[in-house]
Amino acid sequence: MVETLSIAVIGAPGVGKTSIIRQFIYNDFSEAYTPTRSRYVYRPSVILNGNMYELKVLDVPPISSFPASASQEWLDLRCRGVRNANAYILVYDICCVESFEYVKMIRQQIVENEGSSSEVPILVVGNKRDLQRQRFMPRRAVSVLVKKTWKCGYVECSAKFNWHVVLLFKELLGIAVARGMRQNHTSTRLQGALQRNRCTVM
């Protein structure tokens, strides 16, 4: 039986949410910045340790806050399906402290609405690793804060160069599986490159 996993990808404007998703699914990157104005749903399939998962990836436009109730979620079209997501990818720009503060706020609101970070699979992603020299905080300091204090997963990537993009989705799927979506914790292994048929073997 194929399991479906709904993943909400949330972040401030310009952090590269859509670029990460498009690299993962289509192996494609555009230099032109196009703001995400409405919610968009992608439906790729992945194979992890011999098990197939249908992903429902929600590319969420910038929202002022995490919807605190079902009615609030349905009143704002941008938020549809966000509260019911099985897991969250919170993206920030490693060169922009404001985008990190946004992720901090959204993560806190998710925890307040959904339960502790140990129950809700949350992966914090630092994008634009290719601009490493312009970062606002050392990687280790961010990693310790996110993993030790927030109890979330942490990965840095470069959507532009497709660096660690597959890894971050593997990491999130591993967290979701470990927290009860399927059997116990899995060791993931990349067995093949991304193909345009939207099925990724991990």
* pLDDT tens string 28-52: 999 988 899 999 999 999 998 888 8
Map the chain to HEC letters. CCEEEEEEEEECCCCCHHHHHHHHHHCCCCCCCCCCCCCEEECCEEEECCEEEEEEEEECCCCCCCCCCHHHHHHCHHHCCCCCCCEEEEEEECCCHHHHHHHHHHHHHHHHHHCCCCCCCEEEEEECHHHHHHCCCCHHHHHHHHHHHCCCEEEECECCCCECHHHHHHHHHHHHHHHHHCCCCCCCCCCCCCCCCCEEEC
Instruction: Write down the domain spans for the chain.
Output: 1-186
Q: What is the mean pLDDT of the chain?
A: 87
pTM over 0.85: yes
pLDDT digit string (tens) for 57-110? 999 999 999 998 888 888 888 888 899 899 999 999 999 999 999 999 999 999
Give the mean model confidence (pLDDT) for residues 147-165. 96
Topology classification of domain 1-186? Rossmann fold (3.40.50)
